[in-house]
Structure 1
Amino acid sequence: MLSPLLPLGILEKSTFADVPPDFRAAYQSILLAEANASLGKQSKQQNGDKMTPRNPATDLIHARVLGHLLKELFDNKSILGNKPARILVQKIGRLGNDSDEGIYDLGKVYRWILLRCFRCNRRNNLPSPEPLRSFDTLRGTVDDVLETTIDSEGAKKKALLRDGFRCTLSKAYDMKSCKQNNDLFMMAREAPDVGWVPTVCCPIIPDSTIEFFENGEKMSRPVGVLCARAFGLEDLDGTFSQANGIHDLRNVFTISEALYAFFDYLELWLENTKNPEQVNEYTICAHESWLIPKPYQKLIGQVVRFEVSDMVPSERKEEFSESLPDPRLLTLHAICARVMHMSGAENDADDSDICILANDGSDVQALQERLELVAMLSEIVAAR
């Protein structure tokens, strides 16, 4: 899937046919930086008090991260709106004369943002719901779940109910729920070729924080705020800034435990079909389908639809309909997966480095000094 950036002339006949001149100029700047890095042209970067040589191979990856990201954001404007691509174009336009080095550093910034938001810090804490209370009837289980509050555990249980106590991709029933409720067990046993499996509540954006420096003081924000501000999603900024905001049902869905790690590792993602009549319809995609466990390989390429289960009482249907997984978050996760694979950044990425970057502060400060105009953490994450 590794792919160089498409020439501007090709994009102008399709994706960029109607884009403003500054979009073309931004993409052209990225193409030039990509070309210089691919030729092995070695520039220098500030490292403390010294100027040290840059790595052309790494610079090439970061140029491609930026180029593929710009194209993907523009390609998905029907879901994301125009603002995410516009924000990126404005940042590129402010780089000035030091364009190549600025492109490489900005690509590094966005690579880090994408991986921090969509891949880092969840594998060590698999979010499996606590067992449901045991009831003789399905209605008893449903009523009990409806009474839970939206915290970490409540979100898991309500997502499980919304999704019909099933993996949203394979449609297999949740094993723990079947053990606790005989009605569910009978439904699972009678469903052809479905069965039951361990499931988890899968967050699109993980419940973690980002630490940064503002006016010399160490600050922290939820990673969800970083994502919302990086891509101009103001309503989600407000949601993720609130206590337990990351547990909003729009940020979670139920998935088989076997598929969870593949979604987290960006080996599996959901591409919106862009069907105007079915905004919650997605194609299941994989980087390399042979990596997916054999029982699930048949899912690749299939279309799934997120919808509220009939188990939700009719008087609560509207409430749950407004809490289906947010198409913008799933689209950004899909964009992150595609950009990482097309640019080669997934092979170059060191998770420990990505996570340490947020907590250590030294690399963040260097980026802020190097890119005053983009100032990722002061501009994107800092309180407004």
Structure 2
Amino acid sequence: MTSLPPTVPARLQRVAHAVRAYNKCLRIEKSLQQAIDNGEKVGNGMIYVRILGYLIHHVVTDEGMKAVVYEITSCVTDRDLLEVGKMYFNHYIRGFRASKGRIPTPSNHASRPSFDKITDMIKKTLEEAPPSHATAKKHALIRDGYRCVVTGKYDRSSVDQIKELEDMLRANPSLKTEETQCAHIFAESTNSSITPGSALDYAATMWGVVVAFGYKNLPHELNGPKIHRLENVMTAVPGFHNLFDELGIWFTPTDEENKYRLEGANDVHLRDYPEFVTFQTPDPVKFPVPSPIYLAIHATCAKVAHLSGAAACIDKFYRDMEDSTTLDPDGGSADILEHALFELHGQSFR
């Protein structure tokens, strides 16, 4: 968790309502710190106010900045502001962050067909069913050259399945293999045919926040099975996949199209990966690369989650849930119970 910077970003320093909203966050942050120094319990209040402050710094769109500023300035009391921060914690950061254990296990059937050439595999894949996790992985593998987009390691199952790949690796001992997974930018769990007016309150979901940030088409683009569209997936080794899902690593755009710098919450975790990643495709129409818009939204959420302390808080929830077998009769397990209910129902329980 990192204290809020003393001022708004340079581009907002002459925007009076943004400065006023940010100063409100700074005042509440200072008040909470004084309470902590006096030995008082403030719960997750510091995280909530810093989420709002860091959103002003990192939200990508003007619509997003205006939405956050409006939410802050509309608050009558400090408690109201913390409730807004809690809403972003629950329905943006927790909604975006893929839960541990939700990554599907790759299927490895002993009876899977084998192919002599990559082109034979591609032809068979393109004849298959509508979008699903399985077809998304196969299409992503074709686009990504049967390699992890970050490490360059070849997908082990594909090497076993396609003789041309195996021959290529045998001819070049420097090439490596590892089992890969289909990593979603927006996790599969975030969208199950959710639409405005559906039984699940649209305005209270992560999609309501995304729409308020100016991405009005995203719920439609990623609705139901469309969550598996190629723009939302990439081939990745499990270690990177986990870090990406847990908001521990993100892609920052460069001046070059489809080239990104890898950044993360802990520099130590970046050592296994290259500084830059460039997405490539054999056919940009049939096999589009990951969307820069989706990656930008993920990066904003990851940065805010890291800097505000929200990510560390969620990790602690998971550890506590794993370690706890009974609830504390004095109420000490309230946060764990709320988190478990959120995971089960996808909504906040107060």
With normalisation by structure 2, the TM-score equals 0.81
CA-atom RMSD, angstroms? 3.1
Q: CA deviation at 1:31?
A: 1.1
Q: What is the DSSP-based 3-state SS (H/G/I as helix, E as strand, rest coil) of the residue aligned with 2:115?
A: coil
**Preserved contact between residue 191 and residue 227 of structure 2 (Cα < 8 Å):** no
Question: Which residue of structure 2 aligns with residue 204 of structure 1?
Answer: 185
Structure 1 residue aligned with 2:21, among 26, 50, 58? Answer: 26
Question: Which residue of structure 2 aligns with residue 3 of structure 1?
Answer: 2
Question: Which residue of structure 2 aligns with residue 178 of structure 1?
Answer: 159
Q: CA deviation at 1:55?
A: 4.2
Flag the 1:227–1:265 CA change in 2: closer, same or farther, 3 A: same
Summarize deviations over 1:256-298 as a string: whole Å, max 9, x none.
123221222222222222x1x41x21112232243x4xxx724
Q: CA deviation at 1:41?
A: 8.1
Pair 1:94 & 2:74 matched = yes
Summarize deviations over 1:209-252 as a string: whole Å, max 9, x none.
5799x99x9526697735633533112121123x3121111111
Q: CA deviation at 1:110?
A: 0.8
Question: Which residue of structure 1 aligns with residue 305 of structure 2?
Answer: 340
Equivalent residue letter for 2:12: F
Q: Distance in 2 between matches of 1:238 and 1:151?
A: 16
Matched positions, count: 322
Structure 2: gaps (5+ residues): 319-335
Question: Which residue of structure 1 aligns with residue 341 of structure 2?
Answer: 356
Equivalent residue letter for 2:49: A
Pair 1:61 & 2:47 matched = yes
Q: CA deviation at 1:6?
A: 0.9
Question: Which residue of structure 2 aligns with residue 373 of structure 1?
Answer: none
Q: What is the DSSP-based 3-state SS (H/G/I as helix, E as strand, rest coil) of the residue aligned with 1:201?
A: strand
**Preserved contact between residue 268 and residue 284 of structure 1 (Cα < 8 Å):** yes
**Preserved contact between residue 209 and residue 220 of structure 1 (Cα < 8 Å):** no
**Preserved contact between residue 272 and residue 282 of structure 1 (Cα < 8 Å):** yes
Structure 1: gaps (5+ residues): 43-53, 311-316, 367-384
Flag the 1:188–1:112 CA change in 2: closer, same or farther, 3 A: farther
Question: Which residue of structure 2 aligns with residue 71 of structure 1?
Answer: 57
**Preserved contact between residue 37 and residue 59 of structure 1 (Cα < 8 Å):** yes
**Preserved contact between residue 154 and residue 177 of structure 2 (Cα < 8 Å):** yes
The residue correspondences of 1:156-235 to structure 2 (distance < 5 A) are 156-191=137-172, 193-209=174-190, 218-219=199-200, 225-226=207-208, 228-235=210-217
Question: Which residue of structure 1 aligns with residue 326 of structure 2?
Answer: none
The share of aligned pairs that are identical, in percent, is 25
Q: Distance in 2 between matches of 1:196 and 1:362?
A: 40
Q: CA deviation at 1:340?
A: 2.0
**Preserved contact between residue 168 and residue 306 of structure 1 (Cα < 8 Å):** yes
Flag the 1:134–1:337 CA change in 2: closer, same or farther, 3 A: same
Question: Which residue of structure 1 aligns with residue 238 of structure 2?
Answer: 257
Flag the 1:65–1:289 CA change in 2: closer, same or farther, 3 A: same
Q: Distance in 2 between matches of 1:182 and 1:157?
A: 17
Q: Distance in 2 between matches of 1:362 and 1:223?
A: 7
Summarize deviations over 1:298-323 as a string: whole Å, max 9, x none.
425x1111120x4xxxxxx24135x3
Q: CA deviation at 1:157?
A: 0.8
Runs of 4 or more above 6 Å deviation: 220-224
Pair 1:112 & 2:90 matched = yes
Equivalent residue letter for 1:299: Y
Structure 2 residue aligned with 1:248, among 209, 212, 229? Answer: 229
With normalisation by structure 1, the TM-score equals 0.74
Summarize deviations over 1:90-115 as a string: whole Å, max 9, x none.
222222x21x2122111111112233
**Preserved contact between residue 29 and residue 46 of structure 2 (Cα < 8 Å):** yes
Q: What is the DSSP-based 3-state SS (H/G/I as helix, E as strand, rest coil) of the residue aligned with 1:202?
A: strand
Q: What is the DSSP-based 3-state SS (H/G/I as helix, E as strand, rest coil) of the residue aligned with 1:234?
A: coil
| Range that drifts further, 348-357 or 337-346 | 348-357
